[in-house]
Amino acid sequence: MSPGVAPGGGLKAALDGGRFAVTAELGPPRGADPDAVARTAAHLRGWVDAANVTDNQGARVRMSSLGAAVLAQRHGVSPVMQLTCRDRNRMALQADLLAAGALGIPHVLLLTGDHPRLGDHPEAKPVFDLDGVQLTWLARTMRDDGVLLSGQKLTVSPQWMIGSVENPFAPPLAIRAERLSKKVAAGAEFAQTQYVFDLGVFGQWMSCLRDMGITQQCAVLAGVGPIRSLRMLEFLRSGVPGVNIPSAVEHRLRSVPSDRVGEEGMRLCAETIQQLQEIPGVAGVHVMAFGFEHGVPEILERAGLARRANADAHSVATGSGHAD
């Protein structure tokens, strides 16, 4: 087990303590360079409770989420290991979940995954033996009942916290709360959402979750991120399904000089985090800043979120310091 972050720490500790939690993305490198993970972890360490280590995000080949999660933990960042059904059958999924438990990975985020045709190996054969809800149920059964899908008993059960994802903005909106309720019934203990730019629609979704009692069973982490250019704005508007950018947000970003869009996007992101803290049932935020991880501390600082109290302890435990 890595000495950097003990199981049960990180995100789980923040949620159990009633603190407004913060997670972020940590994308593994397209190569076998362990220092690339260390450099990204250095930007996030001390500012987030945990970091999502993505699993061939966008159906593009990267270092495995399991390997990168172990490296992130060595450098003082509590990992959330993503695991998708796209590339693995039920045997491989269970094997990776057991390995994550043995290696002390404290959180797993389970999802169906993008189809290979959307990525850099469109000719790859998709697996999808299970979907994200079935995988969530399987993981809970392994942990809580100590059995495999075959019914065979485990010698030692893994002890990670189980997470899922949800998009409050994908049509039809009327079923989005119900979709999350199914994932919670399957075993999800926290859920991270798609980017939140439309606080009105998001607030209605949260109201439905509260009425259903979901927020008492599952910690909702609202997805946020800075729009750093007009090109990124266009991509989010047209290239990312389920992202809803209100006209007021678009007008705000288009009303500043092009060289100031990044700054305005940072300001907007920080303001969004502040507003999300006022919505009952929101347990935290998930910051998506792909390729801009070094900007995450500034966003959080602007939003009034303090550096995590255990930051220095992690650096001492891992021997990583702040220079890497």
Identify the residue whose tokens are 């950018």: 245
pLDDT of residue 315: 42
Q: What is the per-residue pLDDT across 143-156, written as a single tens digit (0 to 9) for each?
A: 999 999 999 999 99
**Tens digit of each residue's pLDDT (9 = 90 or more) over 17-31:** 999 999 999 999 999
How much is the average pLDDT of 3-30? 81
The per-residue pLDDT for range 63-99, each reduced to its tens digit, is 999 999 999 999 999 999 999 999 999 999 999 999 9
What confidence tens digit (pLDDT) does each residue in 37-50 have? Answer: 999 999 999 999 99
CA distance linking residue 300 with residue 321, whole number of Å? 21
6 pLDDT higher than 90: no
- The pLDDT assigned to 309 comes to 64
233-273 pLDDT per residue, tens: 999 988 777 899 999 999 999 999 999 999 999 999 999 99
Residue with tokens 């076998």: 32
Which domains are assigned to the chain? 11-318 (3.20.20.220)
pTM: 0.91
List the structure tokens of 287. 């910051």
Q: What average pLDDT does the segment 209-231 reach?
A: 97
Cis peptide bond N-terminal to 126, omega within 30: no
Q: What is the pLDDT of residue 201?
A: 95
At residue 230, does pLDDT exceed 90? Answer: yes
Percent of the chain with pLDDT over 70: 92
Q: Quote the mean pLDDT of the chain.
A: 91
Residue 106 has pLDDT above 80, yes or no: yes
For 194-236, give the secondary structure using H, E and C: EECCCHHHHHHHHHHHHHHCHHHCCEEEEEECCCCCHHHHHHH
Q: 310: pLDDT confidence band, cut at 50, 70 and 90?
A: low
pLDDT at res. 9:
56
